[in-house]
Each structure stands twice: as structure tokens, then as C-alpha cells.
């Protein structure tokens, strides 16, 4: 349990599955008193189920707000904070987790629609969310306070054949995150990046347009991380005392080449 996280208001994008869902549960387990969790994604019914799971596991000490939000829609993101009920607007932590990969293709064959959805979600969506929430952080005393936790990927550091666009989006997150950390150096705002390696989630099902057998083949012969492995690190980073920044972390399965 962490006293430091008690009473905080936390926004998680992409909280309907995988790492985002596990992160919501992990925050709730770690700070089961007076926490407010704003769970966002496009699948609102799934978010409501996640809220029920949290309630079942930790009880009513954690308040949960499922909130339908498409991060690739600039209009939805721009009005995100003002559309929250007033008592939910004082956000302390933003976990920019929503993201996806579409297709495996060498550069000449990349479908324009796939390229667009990856950039609109992974890059523009993350930046727009940051711009939407930063004013809340900046209005706090002494130049501002709050945590921005961006989920990058090993793909942003080690590009692979057939994944040039996804890798480029994750490299863009790294550059944006590092610039932002430097811009905010005079404040108490912490800018954190966590880069997972292989994690078994719906990620590869989305990558192969719903083809589960192709998705399962990705993990054949290896043991990927679980989303809980990453969630624990996200919550650990948010729970450090305010002078400690876990700035840039790569986490992958022991055997991943």
C-alpha cells in the first residue's frame, strides 16, 4: 500500500484491456483509500466491466469513472477535462497508455489507413492528451506538479523489419517525452517513460486485424511479460517521493533478443 498515492486522481488512457486495465487494478490495490480512477478508452461497456472488477476486488474506497474517449479525436481530447464532473478535474497523474500496431508490412506495402491510425493514436493522441491535462498540473503552486507517464516501447529503441511505422511512432514518443521533461525541469511535474518489450495482451490481435491464430504465433516458444508486470512498474514510478523520477525504463522478458 502507498500513502503517497492516497487521494490522488489518476487518468489512464486505453484502460479497457491489457496494460491499461492492469494498471487501473494495480493503482486500486496499492492505494485502496480515496483514490479516483478515470478510466478512458473507446469501449465504454468494457470500461464499466473493469470498474466492476475493481469494486469487487478493493471495495468502495476507490472511486472509478469510466469515460468514453477516443484519443485520436482532437475534439474529444480538447474538451476532455471540461467534460469531467467538476470533482474529477483535479488530475494528479496521466498515464498515456492507449496505443496500437496495425499490420506487418515493408515500407512500399504499408496501407495509408494503418499508418494514419498509428500516428493519430500513438503520437498525436498522446501529445493532445498531454496538452489537455498539463494546464491542470501547471496551475499548482511553485510552477506546477503532477505526473505524466508515457508508455513507449522497445520498438522505439530497436526498430524491426515490417514495423517501420509503429517503431517510428514509438521513437517519436521518446523524443517528445525527453523534450517535455527538459521543458518542465523548473516545476515539480515528473515526465516518465516506460518502454515494454513483449507483453501478452490484445495488442497482437489488433496488429493482425483480429486473427487470433496469427497473434498467438507471436508468442510461440517464448514467455512474454504479463500486463501486471508493466502495471507494477507504472504504479511504482508514480508512488516515489516527489524528487525521484524514474525517467526512462526498458522492461522486457528475460529471453527476449
> 199 has which bridge partners?
225
Give the footprint of ligand NDP on residues 137-196 (CB under 6 A).
151, 153, 196
71 makes contact with ligand NDP (CB under 6 A): yes
DSSP string, 99-156: --------GGG--HHHHHHHIIIIIIIHHHHHHHHHHHHHTSSTT-EEEEEEE--GGG
| Cβ atoms of residues 97 and 12 within 8 Å | yes
In the complex, least distance from residue 201 CB atom to ligand NDP, rounded to whole angstroms: 3
Residues 6+ apart with CB under 8 A from 203: 18, 100, 101
Collapsing DSSP to helix, strand or coil, 167 comes out as: helix
Annotated catalytic residue 219: no
Nearer to ligand NDP, 121 or 130 (CB): 121
Query: What backbone phi and psi angles, to 5 degrees, belong to 245?
Result: -115, 115
| Active-site hit among 170, 174, 188, 219 | 170
> What is the x/- site pattern for ligand NDP, positions 96-135, by CB under 6 A?
-xxxx--------------------x---x----------
| Active-site hit among 166, 188, 214, 219 | 166
Return d(Cα 202, Cα 223) in angstroms, integer.
Answer: 16
**For ligand NDP, which stretch binds (CB under 6 A), given 35-43, 50-58, 178-186, 239-247?**
35-43
In the complex, least distance from residue 215 CB atom to ligand NDP, rounded to whole angstroms: 10
| Residue ranges in contact with ligand NDP by CB under 6 A | 13-14, 16-20, 41-43, 46, 69-72, 97-100, 121, 125, 151, 153, 196, 198-199, 201-203, 206, 227
Amino acid at each position: 500500500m502507498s500513502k503517497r498515492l492516497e487521494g490522488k486522481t489518476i487518468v489512464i488512457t486505453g484502460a479497457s484491456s491489457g496494460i491499461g486495465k492492469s494498471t487501473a487494478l494495480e493503482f486500486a490495490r496499492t492505494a485502496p483509500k480515496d483514490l479516483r480512477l478515470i478510466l478512458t478508452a473507446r469501449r465504454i461497456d468494457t470500461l464499466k466491466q473493469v470498474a466492476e472488477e475493481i469494486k469487487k476486488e478493493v471495495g468502495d474506497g476507490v472511486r472509478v469513472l469510466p469515460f468514453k474517449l477516443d484519443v485520436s479525436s482532437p475534439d474529444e481530447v480538447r474538451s476532455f477535462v471540461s467534460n469531467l464532473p467538476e470533482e474529477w478535474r483535479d488530475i494528479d497523474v496521466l498515464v498515456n497508455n492507449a496505443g496500437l500496431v496495425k499490420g506487418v508490412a515493408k515500407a512500399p506495402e504499408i496501407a495509408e489507413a494503418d499508418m494514419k491510425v498509428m500516428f493519430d493514436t500513438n503520437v498525436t493522441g498522446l501529445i493532445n492528451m498531454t496538452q489537455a491535462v498539463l494546464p491542470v498540473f501547471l496551475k499548482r503552486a511553485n510552477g506546477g506538479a503532477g505526473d505524466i507517464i508515457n508508455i513507449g516501447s522497445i520498438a522505439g529503441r530497436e526498430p524491426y523489419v515490417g514495423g517501420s511505422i509503429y517503431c517510428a511512432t514509438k521513437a517519436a514518443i521518446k523524443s517528445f517525452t525527453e523534450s517535455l521533461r527538459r521543458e518542465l525541469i523548473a516545476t515539480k511535474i515528473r515526465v516518465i517513460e516506460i518502454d515494454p518489450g513483449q507483453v501478452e495482451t490484445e495488442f497482437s490481435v489488433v496488429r493482425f486485424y483480429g486473427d487470433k491464430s496469427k497473434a498467438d504465433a507471436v508468442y510461440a516458444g517464448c514467455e512474454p511479460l504479463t500486463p501486471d508486470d508493466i502495471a507494477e512498474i507504472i504504479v511504482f514510478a508514480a508512488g516515489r517521493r516527489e524528487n525521484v523520477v524514474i525517467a526512462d525504463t526498458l522492461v522486457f522478458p528475460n529471453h527476449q533478443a
